[in-house]
Chains A and B, each alone.
Chain A
Amino acid sequence: MSWINENGPIKDVVLSSRTRLARNVARYPFPAAMQEKQAKEIAEKVRKSIQDGKSRLNTDFAFLYMKDVPVIERQILVEKHLASQDLMQNYEVSAMALDSAEKVTVMVNEEDHIRMQCILPGFQLNKAWEILDRVDDVVESEVDYAFDKNFGYLTSCPTNVGTGLRSSVMMHLPALTANNQMNAILQTISKIGLTARGIYGEGTEALGNIYQISNQITLGSSEEDIINNLTVACRQIVENERMARKALLKFNGIQFRDAIWRSFGILCHARVLELKEFMTLISQVRMGISMGILPNINTEVLDTLMTEGQPAGVRKKAGRQLDEMEVNIVRADLIRKAMKEIINKETNS
């Protein structure tokens, strides 16, 4: 079970909602200036606070030291959005706590000593903040944080100082992208301190028309204000995307349906699938299903497939080393089989 294969509200447009807090342990150098011994002490402090602390969270946490985790599993954690690329780059000293429901992670020795996040399916930002707020309280009951009365929670990079809160909503916006409306939207949200990135964070492109909308500002606003601000903006974007989808169907009906059915066809029959093409096609199919053009497949099934189709996911399924071409072939096989299963289930039911 994970956030990926669970149902969530407004799933037609919003894939997931995530909140993240940056924290540092008081009186220790930040990761950029830290010794290995200190990094180990910090990992132990955090582990204790979560696994042995007096106030407990009501789920079980596994505590993983990254150097003990095989490279492929590390990449899969990143592809599932449960850990960051930065954490894996520091694998010699980094660690993470992961709850059994795969929704809460506490990363240790990333860019900051502690980066905790909560990710939930669909549009549930408030819930994701409530949960994370509790996790933060639990860790804080045992660990002294670096905190300043003016600057708030102190972080390695001044872009996170203050609340240390980055909240983001992963949105699927194919119709707005097709209508060339994304640039205008990005400009508007930047005026209220929000920003958009690609599916895998900073500097990645919007593969499969998936955008992460998040708050830019962390200092000067309360956590609730940050969450509310983002919620209001995203709700607006959801409405715009839904309207754009309807408009596409109304004015370009047959071409629109044709494009979606073609995407569906290619996913069912292709022998070679590059990542970018795969993401574009599955994005189209996802939209087609949520608009009732294609047979009713659970979007959770598709979102799981989207994660499994990422490079490390494909390599893990294959169980052996693959070069890039082989990845594309195995990906196509994987997707083809999955689509066949989905269709069989559909016709039997």
Chain B
Amino acid sequence: MLCQECKQKPATVHLVKIINDHKTELHLCEDCARQREDFMNITPFSVNDLIASFMDMGKENPANPAYENPVPSKCAVCGMDYNQFRKIGRLGCQECYKYFGEELDPVLRRIQGSTVHTGKVPKRCGSDLVREKQLAEWRAELKKAIEVEAFEKAAELRDKIKELEQSGNEKQENPKKPGTDTPEHPEKEKPKNPEKPENPEKPENPEAGQLGGSEQ
């Protein structure tokens, strides 16, 4: 289809207006569309715009309780607020995912079609998180099973929970220094390093300092 205005370029922008049951259609090329007021806000748009409008969708619906709260969400850690995020389409820090949770939910549902990660998990710090999550799920299932008196299933779940909890405790009794991969050692080995890494935020290890010679 050619553009209705210039009749030269292919029409790539289509507008259907329905006002009081009266329908009008317009088919334009991008250049002609840009000249018209109707299209000013339609083209071109970016992912940021899309995210912003998904976030607003929940707000424009008065049935949504979030609408009644006029104070924009703000991340207490990095200070980014909702309007800033809307503008740049980027979050300020990892905690933003918590503070903007309510607004992000529809965005993730629309863009990603899901809100739960099922892929890879960081080997060092992620496994505890995943275990916790699994435990929480099983505990919820257990509660439900007891409520409906499905005792066989409940017993099964109880055993699974116990097993997983124990595997977690063993890990903690036998602390590994972060970053070392030691599962290849089949012989029973006492933990050579009795001191626990007290502050996990400081990954500085003395060997690396010596090798790198950063103090020169």
Contacts and interface: CB of A to CB of B under 8 A. Distances in A.
A56 to B, nearest CB: 12
Q: Which residue among B93, B107, B123 has the maximum number of chain A CB atoms within 10 Å of its CB?
A: B93
A107 to B, nearest CB: 16
A217 B115 CA distance: 11
Contact of A156 (B47, B90, B114): B90
B119 interface: yes
B126 interface: yes
Interface string A210-238: 00000011111111001000000000000
Interface residues on chain B, size class: 35 or more
Interface in A157-187: 157-159, 161-163, 165
B58 to A, nearest CB: 14
Given A30-B91, A32-B92, A149-B130, A158 B119 contact: no
Given A33-B78, A147-B129, A148-B94, A220 B114 contact: yes
Interface of A is mostly: loop
A189 to B, nearest CB: 15
B126 A217 contact: no
A198 interface: no
Contact of A163 (B104, B119, B133): B119
Contact of A33 (B47, B80, B211): B80
B67 to A, nearest CB: 21
Interface residues of A, number: 53
Contacts of B200: 144
Contacts of B97: 148, 151, 154, 161
A216 B120 CA distance: 18
Interface in B79-130: 79-80, 88-94, 96-97, 104, 107-108, 111-126, 129-130
24 contacts: A24-B94, A32-B80, A33-B80, A45-B203, A54-B180, A140-B122, A141-B123, A142-B179, A143-B203, A145-B125, A149-B130, A150-B116, A152-B119, A156-B90, A157-B47, A158-B51, A161-B108, A162-B112, A163-B119, A217-B113, A219-B108, A219-B115, A219-B116, A220-B113
